[in-house]
Structure 1
Amino acid sequence: MADEICTNLPERVCKGCGLKGHLMCRYQFRDTLHFFMIVLPFFTASIGGMIRAGFGWWLFGWLGYMLFFFFVWEARVLCSHCPYWAEEGRILHCHANYGVIKIWPYHPEPMNKSEQIQFIIGVLIFLLYPLVFTVVGGQYLLAGIGLVCAASFGYLLYSEICNRCVNFSCPLNNVPEEVRKAYLEKNPVMGEASKKTNEED
């Protein structure tokens, strides 16, 4: 499957491709660095808020949830539909979830409604977990800062990353339609799966 998707082919196949610069269709470390830079303020505010609120030990619960969400739940409902998931090997090389172990098979078809809803619920739990404890502990200023950081993360994610991401069926994806079509034409495995799903709907 990997050799049928241009994202996972040698970079020489990209020569002359008009999509270069419009999509994050090749892994680059700077994209991962960019992602973590925009989420870092939220992590900093959340960890500081929970510790100041007296719930430092509950950070282990948050860590446990993140491991479950990113490596199991999100990996199935979101990541397994991404062309990066089709790459050979057991480790995901992606700008956002780099290092996730691929325990699920690749699904070239788009996410269904259930998967999209599950993804949104999972993200909300991830974001709200530390904020709830910070509020309960009376650290309202830090909770407010955390909320602003979460909103900033969401805005920057949507406007700077999701508009170039190749996982087109993600609820946050906002890649222009003409760019999507051009990529799917280059990758008929995904294009046919997407077309079949649309016909069934």
Structure 2
Amino acid sequence: MSSPGIPLKTDHSARDRLYWNFFNMIPFLIGSIAIAKDSLKWVAVYIGIALFFFLVIEFRFACTHCLYYIRSKGCVKCMMLSGVPKIFKARPGPHSPFEKAMTILGALPMFFFPVYWLVKDPLLLGAYAVSWILFFLTARRYECVRCLNFECPMNRVPADVKKEFEKGDRPSGNFELSGKCIWGAGSGRCTSLRAKHEFKDFLYWNFVTLVLLFSAGLAIGISSTGWLLAYIFIVFFHFNILEQRFFCTHCPYYGGKGKRLKCMMNWGWPRHFRSRPYPPNRFDLVITMLGFIVVILFPLPWLLKEPFLLGAYSISILIFLLTIWRYECSRCIYFGCPFNRVSVEVRKEFEKRKKFEKEKAS
């Protein structure tokens, strides 16, 4: 079977629901703040429009074709509307043109209703746009590639994988190279390891990082250009010198071919230090952590003067940490990282396979 590199998700956990509903609430909170400056009554209208879309329009015209909806009994079990009663009958098969049109028309008022108030505050408008962009980019990148809702226009599961799933076949339990990922079995489930990064990984994660750095930089820049330059230097020094020397040099992604890095955080930067293919020691980790603490805490005196930017900064850090922990740490081959979540069984299988490949090559 040709795999997409990530196992299909047959059901959603409580953590999935908490993560995605928290993520989805951020743009609605921003829109509500903008409207609330003018009128609380219009906030109630905005909430009503959103609830009508999710619980009636989307539920009837989009969700009823979703395999998660069809397989649920009594109440829906999906990552967004879990626990909501199935008030409409399931409709297996593709959406009709009418259903597609109704879903799009129903979504437009929800997205554009708060814009009238948002344009009065460019900062809130920018945060609203960025939060929706982050939501859809993350969903497309990590969920749409393994979602069973094959009728969704955003679904990115390869056609051959869809056919295999519909036939009831399961991926093999043996490790095998699949594109740019390694597949393995652990406790009866398939686990994919990311063997290498691509440029689109770099674009996504640097966009996420820039969101939080921009919040901090804006807060500092409002008060002092000099301290803003100092902050930029600290960030540059930490990520490109300190972290690279004490943390990245131990990472398998660092030790690739060529003179420049090809990892999801530092793509194209020159390798300033030689690779150290063994786990980082305590001193390496302490230095790295101290650098991170300085980068995170340095802008706080200025952020405390700007409550909205402080909130944006805090939420951006939380989203960054939650997303990388959920979707990258569980399949990263940097086993020496203290945040790595790959099981011991899968690590051993991966290292055994890697050793076999080296012996075969020699």
TM over 0.5: yes
1:34–1:160 CA distance, 2 compared to 1 (3 A): farther
SS in structure 1 of the partner of residue 350 of structure 2: helix
User: 178, 194, 218: which is aligned to 1:24?
Assistant: 194
Distance 2:296 2:206 in 1: 15
Give deviations 1:130-173, integer Å, cap 9, x for gaps.
233322xx223322321222122122121122222221111222
AA of the residue aligned to 2:306: Q
Give deviations 1:27-59, integer Å, cap 9, x for gaps.
22232233123323212321222223x133322
Distance 1:33 1:178 in 2: 32
Q: Is the 8 A contact 2:249 2:276 kept in 1?
A: yes
| Cα displacement (A) at 1:93 | 0.7
Written as runs of structure 1 = structure 2, the 5 A alignment for 1:41-80 is: 41-52=211-222, 54-80=223-249
Q: Is the 8 A contact 1:71 1:101 kept in 2?
A: no
Distance 1:119 1:22 in 2: 28
AA of the residue aligned to 1:75: Q
> Which residue of structure 2 lines up, in the alignment, with residue 133 of structure 1?
302
Q: Is the 8 A contact 1:27 1:94 kept in 2?
A: yes
Q: Is the 8 A contact 1:39 1:153 kept in 2?
A: yes
1:25–1:185 CA distance, 2 compared to 1 (3 A): same
Q: Is the 8 A contact 1:90 1:103 kept in 2?
A: no
More strand by share: 2
Distance 2:326 2:208 in 1: 12
1:90–1:140 CA distance, 2 compared to 1 (3 A): same
> Which residue of structure 1 lines up, in the alignment, with residue 84 of structure 2?
none
User: 160, 165, 172: which is aligned to 2:339?
Assistant: 172
Q: Is the 8 A contact 2:205 2:265 kept in 1?
A: yes
Distance 1:59 1:185 in 2: 48
Written as runs of structure 1 = structure 2, the 5 A alignment for 1:140-155 is: 140-155=307-322
Residues 1:89 and 2:258 aligned together: yes
Give deviations 1:84-119, integer Å, cap 9, x for gaps.
222232211111221232121111111112212222
Q: Is the 8 A contact 1:23 1:165 kept in 2?
A: yes
Gaps of 5+ in 2: 1-175, 185-189, 356-362
> Which residue of structure 1 lines up, in the alignment, with residue 267 of structure 2?
98
1:115–1:94 CA distance, 2 compared to 1 (3 A): same
| Cα displacement (A) at 1:15 | 5.2
Distance 2:315 2:324 in 1: 14
Q: Is the 8 A contact 2:247 2:280 kept in 1?
A: yes
CA RMSD of aligned residues (A): 2.5
Q: Is the 8 A contact 1:131 1:147 kept in 2?
A: no
Q: Is the 8 A contact 1:165 1:173 kept in 2?
A: yes
1:37–1:175 CA distance, 2 compared to 1 (3 A): farther
State how many pairs are aligned.
Answer: 174
Q: Is the 8 A contact 2:198 2:262 kept in 1?
A: no
Q: Is the 8 A contact 1:45 1:146 kept in 2?
A: yes
Distance 1:131 1:180 in 2: 39
Distance 2:339 2:298 in 1: 21
> Which residue of structure 1 lines up, in the alignment, with residue 348 of structure 2?
181
Greater C-alpha Rg: 2
The percent identity for this pair of structures is 25
Distance 1:133 1:78 in 2: 29
> Which residue of structure 2 lines up, in the alignment, with residue 196 of structure 1?
none
Gaps of 5+ in 1: 1-12, 189-201
- Larger RCO (alpha carbons 8 Å, 6+ apart): 1
> Which residue of structure 2 lines up, in the alignment, with residue 10 of structure 1?
none
